[in-house]
């Protein structure tokens, strides 16, 4: 079965505004400070795009050279990445359309390219291992003599951006375990995922109205909100 969570554009505007000013530490005294987030747009099949100002500190021969960025485009690109411990939803950062005020164009462009390479190489990204977070085995009451547990396992997902919303669809597999049989390490999964039964994403709605009030819905909301609002600082620290 599929469960879907939707961030409408207004929801994303509110959440991303709480991230700024955003300081990114790339290690070796190299930092990027992003400020003045504005003009949020959603690009179909790409992700979020916004205009920002920034200050880049990059050591050159042991001397800190601050680079003032009057205007730049920040893209936040959502992707589902398969990892050994399960599928992960990531939001990758990329700077583009940079207008820099102090150094020659050739040097400026080179610095921006280095920043983007570091963002990618150091895995500076928002990540949520949603398959692990949303999977759970529910013990059934003793009155059910033949059934011991209900396993609900998130096995994979899809993410999609339209001009109005960002949507995450998660595939769940359920299985009842006989009492006394013990719980398996992993569920039996078919070779291919079943198709989404409805167009993806659904018509945009506010996230709170889009999520059904169930444990799965609450977990989806909490995971996305935590990832977007609080997880960046801890994850960026990996690059140090």
> Does 224 map to a domain?
no
Whether residues 33 and 83 fall in one domain: yes
Number of domains forming the structure of the chain: 2
Please write the tens of the pLDDT for every residue from 109-160.
677 888 888 888 766 567 888 998 999 888 888 887 787 788 888 989 999 9
Alpha carbon distance 52, 73 (integer Å): 6
Confidence band of 208 (pLDDT split at 50, 70, 90): very low
Whether residues 13 and 39 fall in one domain: yes
Domain, as residue range, for 121: 9-129+229-239
Whether residues 98 and 166 fall in one domain: no
pLDDT of residue 234 exceeding 80, the answer is no
pLDDT, average across residues 90-98: 89
Residue 47 exposure: Cα atoms within 13 Å on the Cβ side: 18
Whether residues 15 and 122 fall in one domain: yes
CB 210 within 8 A of CB 202: yes
Residues written for the chain: 240
Other beta carbons within 10 angstroms of residue 27's beta carbon come to 13
> Mean pLDDT across the chain, nearest whole number?
75
Whether residues 140 and 116 fall in one domain: no
The residues facing 219 across adjacent strands are none
Whether residues 111 and 145 fall in one domain: no
Q: What is the pLDDT, as a whole number, of residue 191?
A: 46
Whether residues 31 and 143 fall in one domain: no
Whether residues 14 and 63 fall in one domain: yes
pTM: 0.71
CA distances from 45 to 78, 89, 166, 184 (A): 9, 15, 10, 37
Whether residues 30 and 104 fall in one domain: yes
Alpha carbon distance 43, 65 (integer Å): 34
Whether residues 123 and 233 fall in one domain: yes
Q: What is the pLDDT, as a whole number, of residue 58?
A: 81
H/E run at residue 224: helix 215-229
């Amino acid at each position: 079965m599929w469960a879907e969570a939707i961030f409408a554009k207004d929801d994303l505007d509110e959440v991303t505004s709480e991230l700024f000013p955003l300081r990114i530490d790339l290690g070796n005294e190299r930092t990027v400070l992003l400020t003045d987030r504005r003009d949020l747009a959603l690009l179909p099949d790409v992700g979020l795009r916004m205009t920002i100002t920034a200050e880049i500190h990059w050591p050159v021969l042991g001397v800190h050279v601050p680079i003032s960025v009057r205007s730049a485009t920040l893209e936040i690109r959502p992707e589902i990445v398969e990892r050994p411990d399960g599928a992960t939803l990531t939001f990758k950062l990329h700077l583009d359309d940079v207008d820099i005020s102090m150094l020659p164009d050739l040097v400026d462009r080179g610095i921006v390219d280095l920043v983007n390479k570091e963002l990618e190489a150091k895995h500076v990204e928002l990540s949520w291992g949603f398959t692990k977070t949303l999977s759970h085995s529910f013990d059934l009451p003793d009155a059910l003599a033949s059934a011991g547990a209900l396993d609900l396992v998130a096995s994979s997902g899809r993410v999609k951006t339209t001009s109005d919303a960002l949507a995450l669809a998660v595939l769940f597999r359920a299985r009842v375990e006989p009492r006394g049989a013990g719980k398996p390490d992993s569920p039996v999964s078919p070779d291919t995922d079943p198709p989404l039964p409805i167009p993806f994403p659904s018509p945009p709605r506010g996230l709170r109205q889009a999520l059904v009030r169930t444990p799965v819905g609450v977990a989806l909301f909490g995971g996305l909100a935590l990832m977007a609002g609080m997880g960046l600082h801890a994850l960026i620290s990996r690059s140090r």
